[in-house]
Amino acid sequence: MAVYTHLAAEDLAVLIDHYDVGALVSAKGIAEGISNSNWLVETTGRDGSGARFILTMYERRIETSDLPFFLGLLDHLSARGCAVPRTIHDREGAGWREVEGKAVALIEFLPGVSVGRPTPGQAHAVGAALAEAHVAAREFPLHRANALDPAASAASLAQCGAEQLAAIDPALPAAIDLAARVRGDWPGDLPRSVCHTDLFPDNVLMLGDRVGGMIDFYFACDEAMAYDLAVTHAAWSFDKAGARFRPDVGEALVAGYESVRPLEPAERSAMPLLVQGACLRFVASRAEDWLDTPAGALVTRKDPMDFMRRLHFYAGAGDGPFQQ
């Protein structure tokens, strides 16, 4: 989440009037994230008691043609009891509208906080919630290819080039060869569903040890479920800089997942490679964003080396973090 486009209060009020959510009270830009502009919106609510929503304007990496998939997935999962916000449809039933030539959507606000240092109990709950979403999403009728798979990561890093990557960090160009190796070894026959593929702690709202909501599904796609678990493992099981692995959190995450959907033997065997691919996906996207983020944008660039450190840990750890 971030703010790239600034909307006047009058424009926001006109937009909110298209929804049956009451009148606009306030809208505050949200600075976190890297892809879309977002606001926390407060309205009077349908009954005058007040209501909150997240307003998203789609800026980067997201095509309008993908919105039926993303927003329909939220409604599908929410209707099946998963901890996911539903899409707020306008008075004509549309899931999104257009403002200044860009698509915008209003999303249900869910309570909770994003944790900076997750506990094993929280990790267990997140693993279970992820597995529940995987099981429910297998019935979702729409499909979307993963635009950030290992082939895309390898291509992105190669396009950035060693010289530009070295300008970010002298150790970063090594990711080019690592990505080519992982791409060549990637398994293609693991069980699949529609997956989140970006379930960082800041995309999960916790209520104590309970998951209040999983948010920001805008990288969701058809993918191997074990890969989605690998992404989540890499995102949750280290300190923020990726310098220290937390085995208790990693073990609890996998145990929580398997309390709902046990991994198949082939999935478990593939996990050491899948987590390296997950790390390279974020090395590549963060490097690309680092180089492309315009000056003056209300957004904090994220260091791709945070995931190079994770990658080196996984490459040396083998299957140790995933043994039963």
180 contacts: CB under 8 Å, gap ≥ 6: 154
- pLDDT category of residue 269 using cuts at 50, 70 and 90: very high
Domain harbouring 309, CATH code: 3.90.1200.10
* Beta pairing class for 210-214 and 37-43: unpaired
Instruction: Determine which helix (DSSP H) or strand (DSSP E) holds 230, and give its type and residue range.
Output: helix 225-236
Average pLDDT for 166-191: 96
- Same domain for 272 and 134: yes
- pLDDT category of residue 8 using cuts at 50, 70 and 90: confident
- Same domain for 190 and 87: no
Q: Say which amino acid occupies 15.
A: L
Does a structural domain hold residue 113? no
Q: Which of 111, 99, 70, 64 is nearest to 87 (CA)?
A: 70
Structural domain boundaries, residue 187: 120-322
- Same domain for 235 and 144: yes
- Same domain for 82 and 154: no
pLDDT of residue 7: 84
Q: How far apart are CA 188 and CA 201, in angstroms?
A: 28
Does a structural domain hold residue 2? no
117-133 pLDDT, tens digit per residue, is: 999 999 999 999 999 99
Q: Which of 42, 9, 28, 36 is nearest to 96 (CA)?
A: 36
- Same domain for 180 and 102: no
* 268, pLDDT greater than 60: yes
Q: Which of 2, 203, 234 is nearest to 113 (CA)?
A: 203
Among 57, 80, 108, where does a domain finish? 108
Among 108, 139, 156, where does a domain finish? 108
Q: How far apart are CA 67 and CA 163, in angstroms?
A: 36
Q: b/e map of 143-164 (b: 16 or more CB within 10 Å)? A: ebebebbbebbbebbbebeeee
DSSP 8-class letter at 89 = P
- pLDDT category of residue 54 using cuts at 50, 70 and 90: very high
Does a structural domain hold residue 31? yes
pLDDT of residue 30: 83
3 state DSSP class of 268:
helix
- pLDDT category of residue 1 using cuts at 50, 70 and 90: very low
Rounded percentage of the chain residues whose pLDDT exceeds 70: 94
Total structural domains within the chain: 2
pLDDT of residue 111: 93
Beta strands, E only, the chain: 24-29, 37-43, 51-57, 87-88, 97-99, 102-108, 192-195, 204-207, 210-214, 221-224
Domain harbouring 27, CATH code: 3.30.200.20
Q: Token match 């994230």: residue?
A: 33
291-315 pLDDT, tens digit per residue, is: 887 656 656 778 999 999 999 999 9
pLDDT of residue 2: 55
24 contacts: CB under 8 Å, gap ≥ 6: 9, 12, 13, 16, 17, 41, 42, 43
- pLDDT category of residue 32 using cuts at 50, 70 and 90: low
- pLDDT category of residue 166 using cuts at 50, 70 and 90: very high
- Same domain for 190 and 45: no
Tell me how far the alpha carbon of residue 178 is from its chain's centroid: 23
**Do 127 and 63 form a contact (C-beta atoms < 8 A)?**
no
3 state DSSP class of 191:
coil
* 106 vs 32, higher pLDDT: 106
- Token readout for 132 is 């529940």
Average pLDDT for 158-173: 96
Q: How far apart are CA 107 and CA 195, in angstroms?
A: 19
Average pLDDT for 66-73: 96
Average pLDDT for 43-67: 90
**Do 224 and 208 form a contact (C-beta atoms < 8 A)?**
no
Does a structural domain hold residue 3? no
Does a structural domain hold residue 220? yes
- Same domain for 318 and 179: yes
Average pLDDT for 138-147: 96
Does a structural domain hold residue 114? no
Q: Which of 176, 171, 178, 182 is nearest to 160 (CA)?
A: 176
- Same domain for 271 and 210: yes
152 contacts: CB under 8 Å, gap ≥ 6: 146, 284
Among 57, 77, 108, where does a domain finish? 108
* 3, pLDDT greater than 80: no
- Same domain for 215 and 182: yes
- Token readout for 272 is 């050491």
Question: What global pTM score does this model have?
Answer: 0.91
The mean pLDDT of the chain is 93
Does a structural domain hold residue 4? no
- pLDDT category of residue 106 using cuts at 50, 70 and 90: very high
Q: How far apart are CA 185 and CA 182, in angstroms?
A: 5
